[in-house]
Amino acid sequence: MHFNNLDWTIFIGYFVVILMICFYFTRRAGRSVQDFFLSGRKLPWYIAGTSMIATTFAADTPLAVTELVANNGLAGNWFWWNFILGTVLTVFFFSRLWRRAGIITDIEFIELRYTGKPAAFLRGFRALYLGIFVNCVIMAWVNLAMFKILRLTMGWDDMLLVVTLCMAIVTLYSAASGLWGAAVADVLHFTTAMIGCIVLAVLAVNLPEIGGIEGLKAKLSPETLRFLPSIGETAQETEVVGLLKLTLPALLAFVGLQWWASWYPGAEPGGGGYIAQRMMSAKDEKNSLFATLWFNIGHYCVRPWPWILVALVSLVLYPNLGVDEKADGFVLIMRDHLPGGLRGLLIAAFFAAYMSTIATQLNLGTSYLINDLYRRFIHKKAEQRHYVLASRITTVLMMAVALFITSLLETITGAWKFLIECGAGVGLVFLLRWFWWRVNAWSEIFALIAPFIAYSYIKFYTAIEFPISLYYIVSWTTVVWITGTLLTSPVPLEHLKAFYRRVHPGGIGWKKIAAECPEVKGDRGYWAMFWCWLASVTLIYGVLFGVGKIILKETAVGFGWLALAAVMVFVLYRILSKVGWEQAID
């Protein structure tokens, strides 16, 4: 792939703009820890929500979607489309609670909700586990994906040098401008990445070898273009090329268990990680809710179709790629079929996606280590400038750790499944801790340990495969943590009352505590929020399927789905108007 002068101008110009944003926000981010990690809690919903979308638009995500489509057709995307049910639940039931909590990180929530030595241990452990291990592993596989893109398109073979250069650029503006610079830059990242992928999709579909949408459809099997998976009688039937054929239990595991029971970065039940960070950085509860709603619409409805189209084209152009090379089809189309001038735009677009994810993971991981470990257990009473300086130094050190882990990894295959299985069953605790007073720190400790025990047993002593494994892991984890909860002491009453006065979650699970705090008005309108959740889920699936059907020239069906989505918009408007914002949301 040869870069001409226009390519280099676009490519270098993009980084100049990013660094200008960095320097602009450096002073503002240095005011306090809240400014560095939460943008001073002043982000409007459209910036906070777009930042969430941009963060999930990692360099590896289009490649992963390409692999899903190549191996299983369109229906392979149900591996992540099922998360819509859980992430929309966060919009109406949890986003306002995160903003109301007034904390800096989702890990800080542990000692807001619980108390005592178990809570302190859990907070410190999760700060280390998520801050170093999980965040650096995520950055490592994103680094690998970015290196693959640059190796295939630019011919750059020195992985350590390439990845170090990429991370150094991101670390510079992350350490200097904190979440202020990262969030504003994310708007540019998302815009650039979407434009680049749309341009690539249009060019790919209209290549002479493809002949437009009709030509693409003629060259692919009907099974490959199925939106819904077929139900097979046996697991062996899943091996049909271009067709995701599941047993009924496997399908139910996706849509009935995974979205609420499993922990996965960016789709945590009840919100967490960088999603919670953006919700807590919003101006107020209303902006927090709309930011999360926009994230769901953009994440599931706006982003996927350019990736999917390119993936389908890659099946036609590169039919002989091996099982481990399917994801390369996306990059090979960029390398082999882009005209001069657009090369720089597409590579800049992938750098945009890469930088957004790395910047967020650096900021988030640093927030855990500084706020929940260093500030909590090591240096408790320093000035704000000290913690900001420590945050900037930690950001650079975390980059070094991520580079080291990157040098050790050889493949990221199966990483998504591993995280989902090892977090199966934890999700129920993360949901109920907001709405049931009896949940304590031991509940989370048991729920974190139990899945690893079940996962290890299943992998070493049985032939059970994902997603059927979820039934066993979730059941085991649920029994363990509920039993552990009932056998250990509840959180002291005074601490529960303080939490209730601050967050006032409401609901029957807090009835006992609410009786002790008659002056506090708990949340109401949960039935209204349930119908809002159901309408929003239908809305998002309607837009997702409607746009896809129209793109594939199934116009009547597509507009039918969009009409259903329009009805759901009206339903949402009517419910919120009738119930009233104060009653339904505050």
Chain segment 8-44, per-residue pLDDT in tens = 787 778 778 777 777 777 766 556 666 666 667 788 8
Whether residue 242 has pLDDT greater than 50: no
Whether residue 133 has pLDDT greater than 60: yes
For the entire predicted model, the pTM comes to 0.85
Question: Residue 561: enclosing H or E segment and its boundaries?
Answer: helix 555-579
**Burial degree of 221 (CB within 10 A; 0-12, 13-18, 19+):** middle
Whether residue 232 has pLDDT greater than 60: no
| 424 SS3 class | strand
Mean pLDDT score of the chain: 83
Whether residue 277 has pLDDT greater than 60: yes
Q: What is the pLDDT of residue 160?
A: 65
Whether residue 506 has pLDDT greater than 60: yes
Average pLDDT over residues 301-325: 88
Q: What is the pLDDT of residue 586?
A: 40
Q: What would the two tokens of residue 42 be?
A: 């002043």
Average pLDDT over residues 87-92: 90
Average pLDDT over residues 453-469: 89
168 CB-near residues (< 8 Å, 6+ apart): 399
Q: What is the pLDDT of residue 389?
A: 83
Whether residue 106 has pLDDT greater than 70: yes
Question: Residue 231: enclosing H or E segment and its boundaries?
Answer: strand 230-231
Average pLDDT over residues 204-229: 89
Give the domains, in start order, of the chain with CATH numbers: 1-229+268-382 (1.20.1730.10), 414-490 (no CATH)
pLDDT class of 493 with cuts at 50, 70, 90:
very high
Helix axes 441-461, 415-422, angle to 10 degrees: 130
pLDDT higher for 180 or 219? 219
Whether residue 576 has pLDDT greater than 90: no
Average pLDDT over residues 100-122: 92
- Hey, what's the torsion of the CAs at 259, 192, 44, 135, to 10 degrees? 50
Q: What would the two tokens of residue 14 be?
A: 């993009």
Average pLDDT over residues 572-583: 67
How far out from the chain centre does Cα 80 lie? 10
Cα separation, 126 vs 114, whole angstroms:
14
Query: Could you please report the per-residue DSSP string of 87-138?
Result: HHHHHHHTHHHHHHH--SSTTTHHHHH--SHHHHHHHHHHHHIIIIIIHHHH
Cα separation, 337 vs 526, whole angstroms:
52
Average pLDDT over residues 377-402: 82
Average pLDDT over residues 35-61: 80
pLDDT higher for 537 or 468? 537
